[in-house]
Amino acid sequence: MKFFLDTANIDEIKQGVSWGLVDGVTTNPSLVVKEGVDFHSRVKEICAVVNGSVSAEVTAVDFDGMMKEGHVLAKLHHNVTVKVPLIPEGIKACKALSSEGIKVNVTLCFSASQALIAAKAGATYISPFVGRLDDVSQDGIQLIRDIVHIYKNYGFSTQVLAASLRHPMHVVQSAMAGAHVGTMPIGVMKQLFNHPLTDIGLKRFLDDWEKAKSQAPKK
Ligand code: G3P
């Protein structure tokens, strides 16, 4: 499974990249606004530090507007994936942009029927929001399973990008369900490392090493 970072913060991205774990980045208008920076400059900055897909979202909700923004975004860098919302105009734009060879991430997916539509429109990625479904008492991970199953049935090449992942088990369960990508905040990526037995075990090894050194006969 590929790991994407779900952020527009350059320091977080550099940290993830330093671990060798970042295969791409997803941004959205909320994440960009939080940074208080120029959108296009930030997308270019991200593309300079990440060797992989960088999703940049359109804000228009009509076909012409999405196409116009999509073309501008795609020209910023060859790593840019244009993100469009899962509404009829977005699906139309997905089909048109994809047929021009532009990579498209269809976002705000909350059902298998929506995912089927995005795949038929030639989406490169479909982004089902796991955490937000859990928030309304629906099983987000089950949606990942369903979409992976449907895409396998028909050999769709659209990749399932599990989004709105809020904790390590969301990542693990998405991987078990066969998601191609999981996008997560830096905090969740950090949590993936953690296990108390690792810390306890390392401390014991280092303590033993120090003890052995102090007991060794002096040369
Ligand atoms: O990639 C989608 C993500 O940013 C949404 O996350 O936690 O706001 O549901 P969340």
CA distances from 187 to 65, 137, 192 (A): 34, 24, 9
Residue 216 pLDDT class (50, 70, 90 cuts): confident
Q: What's residue 34's pLDDT?
A: 94
Write the DSSP symbol of residue 179: -
3-class secondary structure, 219 = coil
Q: What's residue 104's pLDDT?
A: 98
pLDDT tens-digit readout, 95-147: 999 999 999 999 999 999 999 999 999 999 999 999 999 999 999 999 999 99
pLDDT tens-digit readout, 75-86: 999 999 999 999
For atom 10 of ligand 1, the residue with the nearest CA is: 164
Domains of the chain in start order, with CATH, are: 2-190 (3.20.20.70)
Q: Average pLDDT of the chain?
A: 97
Distance 164 CA to ligand 1 centre (A): 4
pTM higher than the cut 0.85: yes
CB of 167 shorter than 6 A to ligand 1: no
Which of ligand 1's atoms lies nearest the C-alpha of 166? Answer: 7
Max CA separation in the chain (angstroms): 80
Its sign, for the CA torsion 149, 155, 161, 163, is negative
Determine the Cα–Cα distance for residues 148 and 129; give it in Å rounded to an integer: 14
Contact of 21 with 182, CB cutoff 8 Å: no
Distance 129 CA to ligand 1 centre (A): 7
Q: What's residue 213's pLDDT?
A: 85
Residue type, position 138, single letter: Q
In this structure, what token pair is assigned to residue 176?
Answer: 């078990």
For atom 4 of ligand 1, the residue with the nearest CA is: 164
Q: What's residue 131's pLDDT?
A: 98
* Helices assigned H by DSSP within 81-139: 88-99, 112-120, 130-135
pLDDT tens-digit readout, 26-48: 999 999 999 999 999 999 999 99
Q: Above 80 in pLDDT, residue 219?
A: no
Catalytic residues: 83
> Which of 35, 54, 107, 129 gets mutated to test ligand 1 (max ligand atoms within 8 A of its CB)?
129
Determine the Cα–Cα distance for residues 120 and 65; give it in Å rounded to an integer: 22
Q: Above 80 in pLDDT, residue 218?
A: no
Q: Above 80 in pLDDT, residue 217?
A: no
CB of 55 shorter than 6 A to ligand 1: no
